[in-house]
Amino acid sequence: MRRRLTLLVAATMCLVLLAFLVPLAVLLRGVAADRAVVAAGADVQGLVPLVGTADPGSLRLAAEQVGAAARRPVTVFLPDGSVLGTPAPRTDGVRLAARGESLTVARPDGREILVAVQGRPDGTAVIRTFVPDAELTRGVYRSWLVLAGLGVALLLLGLAVADRLARALVTPITELAEVSHRLARAELTARARPSGPAELRQVASGLNHLAGRIQELLREEREQVADLSHRLRTPLTSLRLESESLADPHEAARLTARVDAVERAVTGLIRQARRRGDSGGEQSCDATAVVRERVAFWSVLAEDTGRGVTLDLADGPLPVRLPADELAAVLDALLGNVFAHTPDGVGFTVTLTRRAGGGALLTVVDAGPGLPAALVDPAALVQRGASAAGSTGLGLDIARRAARASGGRLELSADAGGGARVAVALGPPVLAPA
């Protein structure tokens, strides 16, 4: 936009300068030519009285002196055919002037000034002088250069002013665009600085109002989610009391552990809902510890359903750019799909390896029937709400969103053994943990 405004001003100024400078240049050339002609006519006017009274010898001397002083040829044509002063042919203009009419004749190389002098007894004499083109255009080219320099200076000045005005318009627009991009990246504390013209200040105020309103709506949504999640504590408390009242201690401990797991999930959901929109730094966790803990939790259910569990973890801590509860939710969603969409007795493998550029690669492979045969594009199952088995279709989307938030991606494919393979690439933390 800044360049377009500058080009527009440049084109407009060029048209205006051409409209003024071209006629002015033509006028300067005409004025210079008229000045030279008038000066030449004034020089020969001093000979007019002598032509009518002086003898040929005195007239010849006077013509030579005037020509030498004016630095141009001066010739006197007498009625008897005599030519005094600078030799020159008797042209058609001279013959026309001999009829008693003074005139100026334009020639390819200059202008011929002819003055008719009447009053001699033998007829009309003619005084001739010639102004060459060099004298007609003397000083014109220098004036044109001055005009051209003035035009360039005015154009540069106009471009500088236009660039400054364009910058005053473009800078606030650029800042508004940057603030909108920051808001799109969930930086809800970003605000625009009202500056520039009144219209842009109104846009900045509207954008700030919109950002504040978005913050309020998201805050209300987070609180509603937290409130809804908190309401689950009452039935969970009832389940805990019922599980503790069971006669079988082993069964009571098992159900209590399940209730504790659900309660931890609800607590994590509340924290996650309230953490969204905070301006704090990105959180990270040790993927190895989280995966080991969640696989141990699901191994109990796998044992009850006759499923074999294989766990392959990388050595040492493996930090990723994702909070522990979100990573746990990802693995819970993937393993929940295995239990929901494969028959009892079907085993699965969980693998966690290091990525070359940092972060981790979490892979869940089951030995079930694999993806639906009618499914052409496996990526269609990752879409939110899409399910080939009649479920909610949110599990894979949760994993996909978490992977994207960490700077990674999710891939769904068929395993070489026939089952389904889900790979979640997780990005490294921005700041290495201390």
Write the CATH number for 114: 3.30.450.20
Q: Would residue 168 count as lying in a domain? A: no
Residue 380, pLDDT score: 52
3-state secondary structure 182-219: HHHCCCCCCCCCCCCCHHHHHHHHHHHHHHHHHHHHHH
Which residues are within 8 A (CB) of 321 and not within 5 positions of it... i.e. 6 or more apart?
282, 284, 359, 405, 406, 407, 426, 427, 428, 429, 430
**Can you tell me the distance from the alpha carbon of 54 to that of 56, in angstroms, rounded to the nearest whole number?**
7
pLDDT at 91 over 80: yes
Domain boundary among 222, 254, 277: 277
Q: Is the same domain home to 409 and 288?
A: yes
Same domain, 416 and 390: yes
Number of domains the chain is built from: 3
Spatial separation of the C-alpha atoms in residues 52 and 399, rounded to whole Å: 118
Span of 32-41, 150-159, 391-400 with lowest mean pLDDT: 391-400
Contact present, 124 and 117 (Cβ < 8 Å): yes
- The answer to whether residues 365 and 292 belong to one domain is yes
Identify whether residues 380 and 338 lie together within a single domain.
yes
Is the pLDDT confidence value at 348 over 50?
yes
Angle among Cα 110, 114, 118 to the nearest 5 degrees reads: 180
Is residue 366 situated within a structural domain? yes
Residue 131: inside a domain, yes or no?
A: yes
Q: What is the pLDDT of residue 352?
A: 93
Q: How confident is the model over 115-128, as pLDDT tens digits?
A: 888 877 778 888 88
Q: CATH number for the domain including 230?
A: 1.10.287
Residues 297 and 350 in one domain: yes
Element (H, E) at 237: helix 233-244
Q: Are 420 and 299 found together in one domain?
A: yes
Indicate the helix (H) or strand (E) that contains 6. helix 2-45
* Residue 37 resides in a domain: yes
When pLDDT is averaged across residues 220-230 and rounded to a whole number, the result is: 69
* Structure token digits, residue 340: 């929901």
The enclosing domain of 387 has a CATH number of 3.30.565.10
Residue 146 lies inside a defined structural domain of this protein: no
pLDDT at 276 over 60: no
Enumerate residues 6+ apart whose C-beta is below 8 A from 267: none
pLDDT digits (tens, 9 = 90+) for 371-420: 765 444 555 555 544 444 444 456 688 888 888 888 889 988 888 777 88
| 58 and 117 both lie in a single domain | yes
Residue 89 predicted with pLDDT over 80:
yes
DSSP assignment letter at 282: P
pLDDT at 361 over 90: yes
> Distances in Å between the alpha carbon of 16 and those of 12, 158, 164?
6, 12, 20
Which pLDDT value is given to residue 272? Answer: 64
User: Both 28 and 137 in a single domain?
Assistant: yes
- 357 domain-assigned: yes
Asked whether residue 154 is domain-assigned, the answer is no
Domain stops at, among 141, 175, 201: 141
- Residue 216 shares a structural domain with residue 115: no
Domain of residue 202 covers 188-277
User: pLDDT class for 434, splitting at 50, 70, 90?
Assistant: very low
Mean residue pLDDT of the chain comes to 81
pLDDT tens, residue by residue, 396-406: 888 888 888 88
State the pLDDT at residue 218. 81
Per-residue pLDDT at 394: 64
Closest CA to 54 of 84, 90, 74: 84
Same domain, residue pair 92 and 62? yes
Question: Does residue 169 lie in a domain region?
Answer: no
* Listed residue (76, 98, 96, 97) closest to 87, CA to CA: 76
